[in-house]
Amino acid sequence: MSNDDFRVLTAIEVGSRNHDIVPAPLIAQLSHLRGGGANKRIGDLIKRKLIATEQNSKYKGYKLVYAGYDYLALRTLSKRGTVTSVGNQIGVGKESDIFVVAGEDEKEVVLKLHRLGRQSFRNVKLKRDYFRQDQSPSWMYMSRLSAMKEYAFMKVLYENGFPVPVPVDQNRHCVVMEFVEAFPLRQISQVGEPGKLYSKLMDLIVRLAKYGLIHGDFNEFNILLKDDGTPILIDFPQMVSTSHPNAEFYFNRDVDCIRTFFKRRYNYESVLYPKFGLDSNKEFDLDVQVAASGFTKKDQTQLENYMNELNNHASNSGEDYADEMPSDEEIVYESDEEGENGNEEVLDNTKSATDTDQDSDDEDYIVETDRLGNTIRRKRIPDTDKNDGADV
């Protein structure tokens, strides 16, 4: 793609701040290209499926789609030297895509692209007080907030010694982080000492609370386990402060998720578990540090409103959103032979969500044993899904 193509993409992104559909004259003005040049670039971007044409009651215009947003973010990360090449897609979630990419010195890192609103809720008309009445919600704006929050919390947690991936960079809806050699707890069917791991996880919940934070989604999907038994915490878009009005509810839910999973998966149950108020006395102010890092209270409120409205919609409609796709951080492992094509082919694959079978039949998993004797279950990718992804 040429510099003029990116100038037009950027112009549409800027114009989207005040327009649901950006008219061609405004695109030409913002891109500083004459009308004919801008129109040619618009046509090329439509062919590449990076923008879409829409018509309202007043005029015909254009809007950015996620693939175009991907290109803008990746170009910025490339200029910074954060991402030099894109490799395999290693994970797909209900509202994110995860890739292995090469960073500085060709070191492997993880690229997470937030994609809020791409599933069943993308057609829900959300009523938010921070949008004008004549302006519809922007999923890309919410995805950017989600990425900003994840990076801000990950950075603060890492700087304070919590077991999280090393944060590398963030731009728009993309977060770049360390590649961790570990498996999701969800895929580990046996552990050598379940009681020891249970205690580590409960201590981590308490430690977070003492630092003023509650994960809000502390479960088997968002905990990675390394070969040495060290748990790594991931996925932070739902993290809240202990001063949040619903802090006790979120704290207890995190505790109950671990207790339920250990009882069901490892047949382990303990009468000892942390209680909000008794074990969560705040000693540090990481929530204040996050606000100081640039992710403001207003940003937090906007993202929370989004999450709450999705949960309310799911409750009212009877839909089980969690069953539509794997958790954001449930890794779906591809074969080593795939994903070795050029950047454009990999980027094209980001435009489609990989369908993942949720059944837990044995034939859907590869069973392995790690160095500690833990039994690991890895999700198989059906050949039909692989072929479909290659044709996109």
The C-alpha atoms of residue 176 and residue 237 are separated, in whole angstroms, by 15
DSSP assignment of 162-188: -S-PPEEEEETTEEEEEPP-EEEGGGE
Cα 5 to the center of its chain, rounded Å? 27
Half-sphere exposure in the Cβ direction for 276 (13 Å, CA): 18
The token duo for 346 is 């990999």
The token duo for 52 is 């879409």
* Secondary structure (3-state) at 309: helix
The C-alpha atoms of residue 66 and residue 308 are separated, in whole angstroms, by 23
Closest by Cα among 306, 362, 250 to 125: 306
C-alpha dist (Å) from residue 257 to 127, 217, 227, 321, 359: 31, 9, 23, 17, 20
DSSP H or E segment with residue 351: none
Pairing of strands 108-114, 365-369: unpaired
Beta sheet of 223-226, edge-to-edge order: 182-184, 223-226, 231-233
Phi, psi of 338 (to 5 degrees): -90, 160
Structural contact between residues 389 and 354, judged by C-beta atoms closer than 8 angstroms? yes
The C-alpha atoms of residue 320 and residue 172 are separated, in whole angstroms, by 29
For residue 368, the one-letter residue type is: E
Closest by Cα among 337, 342, 331 to 380: 331
Closest by Cα among 124, 125, 20 to 62: 20
Query: Across the chain, which distance is largest between two alpha carbons, in Å?
Result: 72
CA–CA–CA angle 16, 14, 144 (5° rounding)? 75
Closest by Cα among 121, 148, 126, 145 to 136: 126
Catalytic residue among 217, 254, 328, 348: 217
The C-alpha atoms of residue 115 and residue 209 are separated, in whole angstroms, by 29
Q: Determine whether 388 is an active site residue.
A: no
Q: Report, as residue numbers or ranges, the catalytic residues.
A: 217
